[in-house]
Amino acid sequence: MTSEPVLSIRDITKHFGAVKALTGVNFTLARGEIHALCGENGAGKSTLMNILAGVLQPDEGEILLDGKPRKIASPSVAQSLGIGLVHQEIALCPDASVAENIFMAKTSRRRSLLMNYRKLERDAQKVMDRLAPIDVRGKVGDLTISSQQLVEIAKALTLDCRVLIFDEPTAALTEAETRILFDIIRELKAQGISIIYISHRMAEIFNLCDRVTVLRDGRYVSTEDVANVTPDDVVRRMVGREITQLYPSKQTHAEHSGETILSVRNLGDKDRFANVSFDLARGEILGIGGLIGSGRTEIAEGICGLRATIEGKVFLHDNPQTIRTYADAVKSGIVYLSEDRKGSGVFLDLSIAQNISVLNLKAVTGHLGLIDAKAEGQLARDFARKLGVRMSHVDMPVSSLSGGNQQKVAIAKQLAVQPKVILMDEPTRGIDVGAKSEIHQLLRELARSGIGIVVISSELPELLGLCDRVLVIREGAVAGELDSAEMSEEAIIRLASGLKHTNTHASEHAA
Ligand SMILES: Nc1ncnc2c1ncn2[C@@H]1O[C@H](COP(=O)(O)OP(=O)(O)OP(=O)(O)O)[C@@H](O)[C@H]1O
Ligand SMILES: [Mg+2]
């Protein structure tokens, strides 16, 4: 790579009030390379990419394209310069069709009143088909998050980019979808397009990328050829220390109370799952594995009143519960952390403090029935400290936090209710390695304090490392249960896919 870089970032600094998100950051992107950008939650990755995409303006520093200094004053300037960004947070219009969303960026530029609708749909379908069989006439709001993520990617593929940025594109994708995306990214590279790729998954970075740049606390740390470093090296540069213990120790025999806290019996809804039964003991962390789309989320939603069930029962300490709404579930002591933090996890416009107390207003309401802001702030500060949320103040809106820190607020919000049972759907998605092990540690402590925890995860190492037992779901039914002695990646995959024997490795999802 001797030719002039496509893109050079020089000494970029960016403040948000008192928060110094970026300090003197340098970065160069070579023509036709795939360049990974790594760093802990809040390291400044998305901020830097938003500056490149014209969404944010830097306080200092300059950006050179083909050696020429450029001011990227707005997203449309970025687009005309050939810089495209696949956002970390899905930024689609839920009420518009897939086709309209895919071409929104382009059409808004032309503001053409006489759009040829048929042609728009045909073109959109062509782009979409490269990724997945999604009908572009459907409404985006009706799609799963995984499909929405693919639409977000399709949208970026329609722009004529020289530089294409992917900010954690695979967080919501299946392994098969990830493989298709990687093929497309490699194709783009072969066409001479330069790619910046952000991910917390080391396996992806080492599989896909040519070079890797690490940021820490808003500062540039290093850039290296991927061939010359190991995942451990990258993690060490990211966190500035060695992570010795990735997972907390599991439940000991003595800790196993045997006391059942939650029982689910023959639960079924209209179409997605049927006859689901399992028990959860006090102090236990039960993993739920299975392919994306197998019905795991729907089962969790069925248990906590977010989805109508037509058969079966949920018991807490042997008492049958009537759970018709999520408020019923919370009252019973069951909470659910949804996989889609933007949809139902957190309110982006509310403050960190308001989010954390929203399910537990009782605790922060004074005797006149007014919310006691001081109590609210204290509650939030306690939980934010426990979870290590990186923030300047609890009164800041959640939208001001980095993606991973928003996830921690979503977890804090559920914990603030002091639940008996907590169901978590992909709790560490988008969370960096360091924070992830902190969250795992916290879950184990919560279990030790007597809570029952259910963790739905598509990451096999997480199921194996964290959970005491794993239930595998296939096509809306329990395909099998594995105790700690039987648990292995292969055993889970075999049950999840219905195969008798397999040698498959879930390499792309390894942390
Ligand atoms: N609009 C904003 N207002 C205030 N602070 C902000 C804003 N956007 C980002 N920040 C802060 O800037 C810092 C960098 O955030 P950024 O989103 O760039 O992190 P990141 O590296 O993308 O993290 P993640 O892996 O969690 O996505 C964080 O401390 C964040 O709280
Ligand atoms: Mg980010």
11 and 151 in a single domain? The answer is yes
Look at residue 143 and give its three-state secondary structure.
Answer: coil
Ligand 1 pocket, residue 406 CB under 6 Å: no
Supply the residue whose CA is at minimum distance from atom 5 of ligand 1: 400
| Best residue among 9, 14, 15, 19 to mutate for probing ligand 1, ranked by most atoms within 8 Å of CB | 19
Residue 278 pLDDT grade (very low, low, confident, very high; cuts 50, 70, 90): very high
Of 418, 450, 478, which closes a domain? 418
Say which CATH number the domain at 263 has.
3.40.50.300
Of 211, 239, 267, which closes a domain? 239
Cα-Cα-Cα-Cα torsion 488, 199, 390, 364, nearest 10 degrees, comes to -60
- Residues contacting residue 124 through CB under 8 Å, at least 6 positions apart: 98, 99, 102, 103, 136, 154, 158
pLDDT at 137: 93
One-character DSSP codes across 297-333: HHHHHHHTTSS--SEEEEEETTEEE---SHHHHHHHT
Task: Give per-residue burial for 457-480: e unless 16+ CB within 10 Å, then b.
Answer: bbbbbbbbbbbbbbbbbbebebbb
170 and 272 in a single domain? The answer is no
169 and 66 in a single domain? The answer is yes
Span from the CA of 357 to the centroid of ligand 2 (angstroms):
25
pLDDT at 364: 67
Ligand 1 atom closest to Cα of residue 45: 21
pLDDT tens for 188-212 read 999 999 999 999 888 899 999 999 9
Q: What is the pTM of this model?
A: 0.75
Of 366, 398, 418, which closes a domain? 418
- Are the C-beta atoms of residues 64 and 8 closer than 8 Å to each other? yes
Lowest mean pLDDT among 58-72, 81-95, 216-230, 236-250: 236-250
- Count structural domains, the chain: 3
**Residues 481, 487, 492, 495, CA torsion sign:** negative
Q: Which domain holds residue 363?
A: 349-418
Q: Report in angstroms the alpha-carbon separations of 54 from 31, 79, 444, 471.
A: 21, 9, 42, 46
412 and 425 in a single domain? The answer is no
Ligand 1 pocket, residue 23 CB under 6 Å: no
| Residue 26 falls inside a structural domain | yes
Q: How many CB atoms are located within 10 Å of the residue 258 CB?
A: 8
Q: Is the pLDDT of residue 163 over 90?
A: yes
Q: Is the pLDDT of residue 286 over 80?
A: yes
192 and 321 in a single domain? The answer is no
Ligand 1 pocket, residue 429 CB under 6 Å: no
Two structure tokens written together for 104: 């929104």
Span from the CA of 391 to the centroid of ligand 1 (angstroms):
9
297 and 428 in a single domain? The answer is yes
Ligand 1 pocket, residue 42 CB under 6 Å: yes
313 and 353 in a single domain? The answer is no
| Residue 396 falls inside a structural domain | yes
